[in-house]
Chains A and B, each alone.
Chain A
Amino acid sequence: NAGVMQNPRHLVRRRGQEARLRCSPMKGHSHVYWYRQLPEEGLKFMVYLQKENIIDESGMPKERFSAEFPKEGPSILRIQQVVRGDSAAYFCASSPTGTGKSYEQYFGPGTRLTVT
């Protein structure tokens, strides 16, 4: 069973461009989470999605950031008009269920975004 896949692993964008980060959850997982790790900080929750639904986007910046998890295909985190402060590692995780003390989130290797 393949793990959580993220691509690209490294992405370089110039200020003002768009960044699209992809996440394919583990087989059978319908819950996806995105986290961001800024330099010297821990991972911070951004958004929680189920197929075709955004459940909790309380950690997403109000502007320029959006996320989707369509019925078919990977989850996409989209950052429009990137700025230098968006440079970070973006991690995706998936789980078979969304709540409960026994569930586990399985993480991908992350996408490292660099804005020049």
Chain B
Amino acid sequence: GDSVTQMEGPVTLSEEACLTINCTYTATGYPSLFWYVQYPGEGLQLLLKATKADDKGSNKGFEATYRKETTSFHLEKGSVQVSDSAVYFCALSQSGGSDYKLSFGAGTTVTVRA
């Protein structure tokens, strides 16, 4: 079945450093891809998404490009802030009639130090 593998954490960075979290997927058809973020004590929030190959999702300085040839959707940010400390989840939704069924990676905990 469909699955997502993301980079293991935890990741600790200094403020203004570059962040990359790797995410690869296995899926049949043409899934949509997502990054969710969970801040301490809160629910998961959609950070960005891409629905077809070569689409680039972006939000709050984060970017990710849907690469069908490498089945990847890596998350990047050029200069992180302390407020970016959170758990980041890569996810996909199955194509076809079950596109409500999200499959998640295990999450990557990111801590940004001042």
Contact = CB atoms under 8 A, between A and B. Distances in A.
15 contacts: A31-B100, A42-B89, A42-B105, A42-B107, A43-B102, A43-B104, A44-B104, A56-B98, A98-B100, A99-B97, A101-B99, A104-B46, A104-B49, A107-B45, A109-B43
Interface residues of A, number: 30
Interface stretch (A11-19, A33-41, A68-76, A77-85): A33-41
Interface string B93-114: 0000111111111110000000
A104 B46 CA distance: 8
B75 interface: no
Contact of A42 (B41, B51, B103): B103
Contacts of A3: 43
B43 A4 contact: yes
Interface in B18-55: 32, 36, 41-46, 49, 51
B4 interface: yes
A93 B100 CA distance: 11
Contacts, number: 62
Contacts of A44: 103-104
Contact of A45 (B32, B44, B46, B103): B103
Q: Which bracket fits the contact residues of B?
A: 20 to 34
B35 to A, nearest CB: 12
Contact of B51 (A31, A48, A101, A110): A101
A66 interface: no
A33 B104 CA distance: 14
A50 B101 CA distance: 14
Interface of B: 4, 32, 36, 41-46, 49, 51, 89, 91, 97-107
Give me the 10 closest cross-chain CB pairs, A-B, nearest first. Answer: A42-B104, A107-B43, A107-B44, A43-B104, A101-B51, A109-B43, A42-B106, A108-B43, A45-B101, A42-B105
A71 to B, nearest CB: 21
B32 A101 contact: yes
Contacts of A98: 100
A48 B100 contact: yes
B80 to A, nearest CB: 23
